[in-house]
Amino acid sequence: MIILNKVKSLITFNQRCKQTLTALTFSLTVVSSVSMAQQATNLDDLLSQLEQGKIAQSKQNISREAEFKAKVSEQQSLLNDIKSQRDSAIKLSATLEQSFAENEIKLANKTDALDNRLGELKELFGVLQQVSGDTQSKFQTSVISAQIPNRGEFLNEFAQSMGSSSKLASIEEIERLWFELQREMTQSGKIHTFKREIVLANGERQNTDVTRVGGFNLIANGKYLEYIDETGTVAELIRQPH
């Protein structure tokens, strides 16, 4: 009996579930019908609206498909342009590489021809470069540079020019080198007084008369001075000779 009662209860429960589902389905149908009825005044209108909605949806799909195809076509066009640019760049690179190789050969041939034509002049370049470099080093430490500054700039440029062996020295450049050598020798035998700034022993700066004794000493205010070639400064000696 107990089992029979449980079976009857299950049958009753299933029947109630079916009734509930039927009621829900009916309710949804009614709601949908009411919604459609609110938009359409009769069945003909409803049919017309359904047909128009289907047509509108079809038009939207056609528009989206056309837009997609247009974008695909646009992307393909961009891809073709990029490929064309790449091919052009490859061709240009190959042309430039070939031109570079040909120019290297031409440059080597012209360099050999220049060396052959220069002949013994290359030895002159070496002498001028060495003399310019040695003279510049001497000017850097010479007390004469305290009176005549910036003499080494020309010599530095001239030495570099001769080191490249790419152009001949002009008569003016050779004469300028000769002049600087002669001026150094001439000034080495003279005593000259000139005005310039010096650094005192206490660190103060002062414009005063400086006397240069040849290429040996600098004196100001009865005290010996030193020429600092790194900065071009003239300063009193901390410890004065007796």
Strands (E), the chain: 191-199, 205-213, 217-220, 223-228, 233-236
List, in sequence order, every residue forming a beta bridge with 227; answer none if it has no partner: 234
Does 168 or 11 have the greater pLDDT score? Answer: 168
For residue 206, tell me if it sits in a domain. yes
Q: pLDDT for 92-102, tens place per residue?
A: 889 999 999 99
Domain with 54 in it: 49-118
**Residue 114 identity:** L
* Whether residues 64 and 166 fall in one domain: no
Query: Domain boundary at 99, 118, 137, which?
Result: 118
CA separation (Å) from 173 to 79, 162, 178, 179? Answer: 61, 11, 9, 10
What residue spans of 142-170 are helical by DSSP H? Answer: 152-164
Domain total in the chain: 2
Q: pLDDT for 181-193, tens place per residue?
A: 999 999 999 999 9
Q: Is the pTM of this model over 0.85?
A: no
Q: How far apart are CA 141 and CA 137, in angstroms?
A: 7
Quote the tokens at residue 67: 């837009």
Query: Domain boundary at 118, 135, 165, which?
Result: 118
